[in-house]
Amino acid sequence: MYCASIGAVNRQGEVLTAVIYNPMLDEIVTATKGGGCRVNGRKLNNDNKDIHLIPLQNSIINIGFPVSKPETLAASSRAISAFSTKVRGLRMFACASQVMAWVAQKKLNAYISWDLNSWDICAGLLVVNEAGGFVSDFQGNRATVKTREMVILCQGAHELAGDEKEGCISMHREVLDILKDANCLNIY
């Protein structure tokens, strides 16, 4: 799986526009800051009407498998083991921008990865955020183009209210807790 991924960033590090194109699927995902997200020209309708937050045990998540450093490969392997009995399914697609586009479209519920580069995630950051998702670092802070390790969820707590917001925050905490318990954080 591969794609072309382009993001335009201003001097403050904000991604302003993004394009992710998968030629095998002939799928183009675009986003503009404040303008939403589109798939093949159709606006993604991820508003909060009839929202249903999927619990972690019913989720399908993608776990990155970074092979360039022994530490990240070991952390990823531990994460696979730790999540294998806690989710509905695991995937390991190796194209970060494509996986982020799928999280934005809710084809995947979450994505966890290590040792990412700005060119891997730049477009995906805006796509996920404009689709209503949430991208954080391993400490739970909002991710930037300089973030190397990430947790990406298809629904963002920042735009939810009441029980749904607490559910998303709980899922985010649960993911981070599983990673911590499996010794997948602070690996350097």
Q: Please check whether residue 101 lies inside any domain of the structure.
A: yes
Q: Please check whether residue 4 lies inside any domain of the structure.
A: no
Q: Please check whether residue 71 lies inside any domain of the structure.
A: yes
Q: Please check whether residue 70 lies inside any domain of the structure.
A: yes
Q: Please check whether residue 72 lies inside any domain of the structure.
A: yes
Give the residues across from 89 on adjacent strands: 60
pLDDT digits (tens, 9 = 90+) for 14-52: 999 999 999 999 999 999 999 999 999 999 876 554 456
Range of the domain at 132: 46-181
Going residue by residue through the chain, which has 188 residues, state the pLDDT in tens, using 9 for 90 and above.
899 999 999 999 999 999 999 999 999 999 999 999 999 999 987 655 445 678 899 999 999 999 889 999 999 999 999 999 999 999 999 999 999 999 999 999 999 999 999 999 999 999 999 999 999 999 999 999 999 999 999 876 555 445 554 556 788 999 999 999 999 998 88
Count of structural domains, the chain: 1
Distance CA 96, CA 116 (A): 8
Distance CA 70, CA 72 (A): 6
User: Residue 105: which CATH number?
Assistant: 3.40.190.80
Q: Please check whether residue 51 lies inside any domain of the structure.
A: yes
Distance CA 14, CA 185 (A): 26
Distance CA 71, CA 49 (A): 42
Q: Please check whether residue 143 lies inside any domain of the structure.
A: yes
pTM: 0.91
SS3 50: coil
Q: Please check whether residue 133 lies inside any domain of the structure.
A: yes
Sign of the CA dihedral with 108 first, then 2, 148, and 65 last:
positive
pLDDT at position 161 is 47
pLDDT at position 45 is 73
The overall longest dimension of the chain from CA atoms, in Å, is 44
